[in-house]
Amino acid sequence: MLMFSYTNFDGRSVNESNAYKNAAPCPTLFVANLGPNASEQELNQVFSRCHGFLKLKMQSTYGAPVAFVDFKDTACSTEALSHLQGTLLYSSPGEGMRLEYAKSRMGMRSKKSK
């Protein structure tokens, strides 16, 4: 049975570290420091329990996988960021996930003008 709380995930302790806040608050979170075996299903199990979760997209363009997680609003993404920062996944090589606000909302990237 899968057990989850904001202090542990299935019995594994959460590594609480300072939240990365390089970008302005946004409804979409950027998720890094995922192990090479991380799966979209595993991430959905974690993030779908968060209030306001809408969707998740995983990429592994440059080797290590990363994900973008979209929430209903900035309040929901902020709550998820503060509660899940440093969470260890089963597929994790030993360090927790690193969450930060995405540079823009998922699906709303602005086109660069030349």
Spatial distance between the Cα atoms of 89 and 14, rounded to a whole number of angstroms: 9
Q: Is the pTM of this model over 0.85?
A: no
Report the pLDDT value the prediction gives residue 85, as an integer from 0 to 100: 97
Written as tens digits, the pLDDT of the chain (114 aa) is 233 444 444 444 444 344 444 689 999 999 999 988 899 999 999 999 999 999 999 998 777 899 999 999 999 999 999 999 999 998 887 889 999 999 989 876 555 544
Q: Give me the domains of the chain, ranges plus CATH numbers.
A: 20-101 (3.30.70.330)
From residue 61, how far is each of 29, 43, 93 by CA, in Å? 17, 17, 19
Q: How many CB atoms lie within 10 A of CB 70?
A: 22
CA-CA distance, 31 to 100, in Å (whole number)?
7
Q: What angle do CA 71, 88, 82 make, to 5 degrees?
A: 40
